[in-house]
Every structure is written in structure tokens, then in C-alpha cells.
A and B are shown apart, each in its own frame.
Chain A
Amino acid sequence: MIPEIGHYALVLALCIAIIQATLPLIGAQRGIPSWIAVAKPAAQAQFFFTLLSFVLLTYAFVTNDFSVKYVASNSNTQLPIQYKISAVWGAHEGSLLLWVLILNAWAAAVSWFSRSVPAQMTARVLSVMGMVSIGFLLFTLITSNPFDRIFPVPMDGRDLNPLLQDFGLVIHPPMLYMGYVGFSVAFAFAIAAMLGGRLDAAWARWSRPWTQMAWVFLTIGIALGSWWAYYELGWGGWWFWDPVENASFQPWLVGTALLHSLAVTEQRGIFKAWTVLLAIFTFSLSLLGTFLVRSGVLTSVHAFASDPERGVFILMFLLVVVGGSLALFAWRGPQIKSHGKFELMSKETALLVNNILLVVAACAILLGTVYPLILDAMDLGKISVGPPYFNFVFIPLTAPLAVLAAFGVLARWRKTDFMDILKRLKLVLIAAVVLGVLWPLSVSGGVNGDLTLGAVFGGVLAAWVMLSSAYIVYDRARRKSDLLAGFRSIPLAFYGMTLAHMGIGVFIAGVTLTSLYSVEKDLRMAPGDVYETNGYQFRFVGTKGHNGPNFHADRGTVEVLKDDVVVMTLHPEKRIYTVTRMPMTEAAIDPGLFRDLYVALGEPVGQGDAWAVRIYHKPYIRWIWLGGIFMGLGGILAASDRRYRMGAKARRTAVLKAPAGGAEARA
């Protein structure tokens, strides 16, 4: 009975979505207040019913209701409770339900937190989100109903894929989806503005905090995925240019461009059409990502068995969304006028360059990801594009971004003198060059020997971004007579931006030092064998049997010695999950701010107790995710700036009172 209620709740949600998508929109176009007023309660009711449905599916998992096919395929009585809950979104059907739930959560949030936005605008926004919701609810109900029953009822479930039985996978998909789906708000605002024919600075200001929060979730989601791949897949990589990774990275790149162009549109009232296009493309790329992951067309660690009918549905939906919104743009676009002039040398140009580089980088990745699929679909052969391509195009396109960030921040609107900015940053530049050489040198420390050009390049770039960001904050605070008061007078949004930029620097440092100075060794080790690297001696002691709740394991013991003293003992495991019979490598990692020690077991080799053992020394790898955390925190700070929370009236007076230099502050 309970699963049927869950199913029924979804159907109700679909009915409400249809109302939400139509009535408020017609009301807004025709000016019927009572129809406009339907929007908010509808969004909240839809959220309630999808939440109910989600809770009931979770209940089916927790109570081991194996009469539900989805539960039987993805759970087991022996599965620990936290994984029973995360198994709800462990496979296709449930993750779609999560998608819809999050979409409706965002819509409900819009209905709650948009008091300063005119009711007409909110009605249009919620209408557009209702349309997206219709698409996904139909998709769920028609092709992938998680509440389908199975008969005869199996005695026990087939267990959750062991790879997903992990904390990282408990939170990675919800975070990523919060990001993907969050961009639907920015998309809905853009479409609503076009429908209403009102594309002004106010529109950009309303949609900015939403875009920032979506971006934060996507950033954290991608970083979590990378972290999970590093420790769970057992080969210690943090990014593979895997098509599915690319699928999440494209909306991130275009979304980052959107953040910056929204700033220009809000502050200066220009780039309007471009901003609208970016909002459309960011969400479209999010949908494309969903399509790529969920259709099974890709060869990837994320690709799971699936049904081709589903892929076709998402592809059609994608075409409707992209086609429909571009058609609207073609119709309304010519009416979008940008006022305001700017010189070639100005903040506007700097942000334009930022946008171009980000979008071109996204296109280059799109080419490498989608081209093989198109070729395959047309039966022209099967190809794949290797990581060297992505590295080759991505680094030259994004390195200038890191160089230009400080100039962009310091530049003035309308007209600026970049030579003058360079003069101000002269000392920072010198410090960055010195640090950029010393830093890799301290890591290579004679062990790996050479200081390569790449290391110096990455080091200088990282140091430059971090030092210049810090300098810019100091420089602004210094303008006040009292430094402390100066720091206090800087708006949160500015701190947020600085922190996010610093995150880029931290990330570059991590990527450079890890990629160039990691030691990665696959060895055959018999008990007693020792391998030495970077001042650590790894002594393989042996393996022992060990039983977990739903797996058996060979548990290895590796002692790590420094100067002949045991400093730690690592226990990598090779597990066999009892239900699925799936083997899993559980790496043992000693994390550190400046280096990770990573040990994983391969398989037994030859007679005796020898094993294939993987030993890695990875300097600064944590900085890659630390950078992601910085960016995420920066985004949260920026979104919580008080000017987004001020009522419309208060804002108007604040704008009038803002000092002349205020424009720069609010970039």
C-alpha cells in the first residue's frame, strides 16, 4: 500500500505541475492577479507531494520492502542503515526522483524567498520551473517508476553496488544535483524575463544569489566526486577527463561565465542578451549531463546498465528545452537593448575576456566528449578522445584566466589603465615569481630531481592568484584611515569573490604539484619487502582474513617507517561483497596537508603470500579539493551579501547614496 501512495503522490505532483506551468503564466501575461497567486502555493504543494513520495520510497528501503523492484535491486537486509537510505538515489529511478525533489525544493525556495521580487515575475519563474518539472515527472512516471512492484517477491535484495557503499557517494549525487537543478532557477529567471519583456539590472540582481548558490553546490559536488574517485576507485587519480566528469564540468564552466556576466549586467546594464544565452546554455548543459549519464551511451565508470528508451526521452526533452528557449530568444532577443558604453581597456572587457575563455574551454571539452558519440550514432566508427587532448586545450585556455583575475578585479568600469594596475601589482608579481620557483623546489626536494618549466609555470600562477587576491583586499582596506575599520567596511560579496579566486590559486598549486611530483609504483611485494620513496619506507607485513557486515576482506598491513622508526600502519583491503560477489579495492590513505600516502592491494601474485601492491606518494593533492572548498565558501559569502536581502525600497535609497567608488566594490 505504501509504495502505491508514493506513486500516487508523484501523479498528484504531476497534476499540480501542469497547473503551475500554465495558470500563473497566463495570469502574468494577461494580468489576472488571482491566477498569478496560484504560483506560490502550487510550487509548495508540488514540493510537498514529491517529498512525500521520496520519504515513502526511503521508508520502503528502510523496512526492506523487496516487493518493490527498485528496492529489491538495490538493497539487502545486511546493508547498513545509512547505505539503505543513500541507496534511494543509488540507481537510475531513485536518482531521478531525487532530481525532481530537488527541482521542487528550489521552486519552493523561490516561492519563500522572493518577497522583494514582483509577483508577476515570480509567477513566470515558477511557471517555467513547473514546465521543467512536468518533463521530469513524466520521465519518471513513464520510463522509470521507482515504485514498480515485483512478483514473486524475492527473499532478499540484490544489494547496493559496493562502489556506492561509501560516505562520498552518500553526499556526492545530492550535491551535484543541487547544482545541476539549481541552474534551472537562473534559466527560469532568464526565460521569465524574456516572456515579460523586462530585462534590466533588477532581473540580474534577483537571479544572482540563486545562480551563486547553484554554482556553490555544483562546485562542491564536483569536488566531492573527484575526492571519491581518488579514494574509492583504487587507482588514486582525481580527474580522468571521463565523459561523465566532463558532463558535470561543462555546466560549471559556463555557469562560472554566467556568474561573471550577471555581475556586468547588474552593475552596468549591458551584456544582457549574452547573459540570457549563458543562463539557457548552463541549464541545457546540465540537462545534457543528465542525458549522458542516464542514457548509457557512454563508456565510463559512471555508466550503468540502462534502457535506451530512457535516453531517447531525455534527448527529446533536451531538444524541447534548448529549441524552445532559443526560439523565444530569437523572437524576443532583438528587443533586448544594452545601454552604456565602455572603452576597450575596462573592467567590462576584462570580464568579456573571462567569459570568452570559459565558454571556449567548455566548447573544447564538449567537442571531445560529444564528437565520438555523434560519430558512433552515424555509424562512422568508434573512437574515443584521450586525456592529452583535454589537457592540451584546457590549460592554455584557463591559465590566462588565472593571470587576468587580479587585473579584472582591480579594473574600473568604463575605462581603466591596465599598465597602472600592473604597476600597483609589481611587488606582488615579484613575490609570486620567487615563491613560484621556491615552492616546487621544496617539493621536488632532490627526490624527483628536476624543476621543470611546467612546475615553475604552475607555481608562479598559483602564487600570483593567491598573493594578488590577498593584496587586493589589503589594498581596499588601506583606503580607510583605520585598517580594521577598512576590513570591516568591505562588503561580504567582495570577500566571497576574493576567497573563490584564492581557491583557484590553491587548486592550481595542488594540480601542479600533484601531477608533476607524485610517485606512483605498482609492485610485487612478499611479506618483509620494503619500498622506499620520499624519505618513507613502506614495509609489507602481510594480509589476514577479515569479515565486514556484508563482505569478506583480505586485510593487508603495511608499516610506514621514517628513519627506521614505524610512524604509522596502513591497512588496505581487498573486499568481496557477499551478495553481488563484487570485488572492491579499499585503499588505505594517510592524508596530510602537504602529502598523502596511498597504499592499495592488487591481487595475490604467484605462490606464497606475495601481493601486487600499489604505493603512491602524492604531494599537495588535498589542495585540489581545498581549492574547491574555498570556492564554495566564497560563493556562499557572496550570495549572503546583504544587498540581496534588502527590500526593494531600501535598495533604491542605498543605490542613490552609494559612493562613486562603490561600483568597483560591488563587482
Chain B
Amino acid sequence: MTPKRKKKLVLLLIALAGLGIAVGLGLNAFNQNIMFFFSPADVVAGKAPYERKFRIGGLVEEGSVQRDQQTLRVTFKVTDGGGSVAVQYEGILPDLFREGQGIVANGTLGRDGVFQAAEVLAKHDENYMPPEVADALAAQKAAESVKN
């Protein structure tokens, strides 16, 4: 091997190693930032993990929203008809958050069964339902009709 070729080979190997490390790190980051979605029925059935971030979505249960008088803490329940999960959030809720509205929240499920939301998303279009919520509601409806 001529010295020139050797130099090229070394450069190529360095580039490949760099690429490998980059891809590895990237995929690792990807893995750690994946958030799964669970419907309230899944959570009630114990399918969701504790203390790991995930997303939950459903309708805000009528009459369940309780605001703290002195802080910005809010608790409410999300439901898909098959189960209902208490959610706690501290901060300012989005404009379209209200009872009966479909929302998606991300955060972690505590051992006490209360979902601590880090972020609550409601959509900006009246007719719009987050796809996950729509699917969860449809799945629940289907399950019920099978039971009947």
C-alpha cells in the first residue's frame, strides 16, 4: 500500500467510525425520547408503566375540573368511556381546554394512580379530535358493542 493510499484508508476509517458513533448516539436518543400513548382504559387496566413518560388522551370528564384557589394547580379526569384517570397539572391550560373537550397530556403516572402532566395539549379547531383520542374512543365503543 502506498503511503497516499494508507492515508486515504485511515481517513475513511475515521469517517466510518465517526458515522457509526453518530448513528449509535442518535438512535439511543431516539429510543429515550419515544413516548408511548395509552388510553385511560389501558391505564386503568394497568397496562401503562409507572414513572416513565407517556401520553394519555381522552375527553375531559364533565364536572371533574377542580382548580386550586391559591395556586395554578388543576386536577381533572380524562376518560374514554372505558376508564377514567385523574390528572394533575400546574400551570396555564391551553385556550381550548374545557370539560367534554378531547385533550392529550404528557407526563408520568404516579404510584397513587394520578397522572402528573407536564404538558396539556388541546386543539385549535372545534371539529378536530386528536387522532389518538378518536381511535381510543372508537376502540372503546367497539369493545362495548361486543359485550352487548
Contacts and interface: CB of A to CB of B under 8 A. Distances in A.
Partners in one complex: yes
Interface of A: 161, 163, 234-235, 296-299, 301, 303-305, 344, 360, 364, 367-368, 376, 381-389, 392-393, 396-397, 522-524, 580, 582-585, 600, 602-603, 605-607, 612, 614
Contacts of A603: 92-93
A305 B69 CA distance: 36
Contact of B36 (A299, A344, A382): A382
Given A382-B132, A383-B36, A582 B126 contact: yes
Given A297-B131, A381-B36, A385-B35, A393 B124 contact: no
Contacts of A381: 36-37
Nearest to A304: B125
Interface of B: 8, 11, 22, 25-26, 29-30, 32-37, 53, 55, 67-72, 90-96, 104, 106, 121, 123-132, 135
B69 A606 contact: yes
A371 to B, nearest CB: 8
A299 B30 contact: no
B117 to A, nearest CB: 14
A121 B128 CA distance: 46
Contacts, number: 109
A322 B121 CA distance: 34
B125 A388 contact: no
Given A383-B36, A383-B37, A305 B95 contact: no
Nearest to A382: B37
A580 B72 contact: no
Given A299-B130, A299-B131, A393-B29, A384 B55 contact: yes
Nearest to B35: A384
B71 A524 contact: yes
27 contacts: A161-B124, A299-B130, A303-B123, A303-B128, A344-B8, A367-B30, A368-B30, A381-B37, A382-B55, A382-B132, A383-B35, A385-B34, A386-B33, A388-B29, A388-B32, A389-B30, A389-B33, A392-B29, A393-B30, A397-B22, A522-B92, A580-B126, A585-B95, A603-B92, A605-B68, A606-B68, A612-B92
Nearest to B37: A382
A605 B130 contact: no
Nearest to A73: B127
Nearest to A306: B128
Given A305-B127, A344-B8, A384-B55, A522 B72 contact: yes
Nearest to A606: B69
B89 to A, nearest CB: 11
A582 B128 contact: no
Contacts of B96: 582-583
A631 B34 CA distance: 33
B72 to A, nearest CB: 5
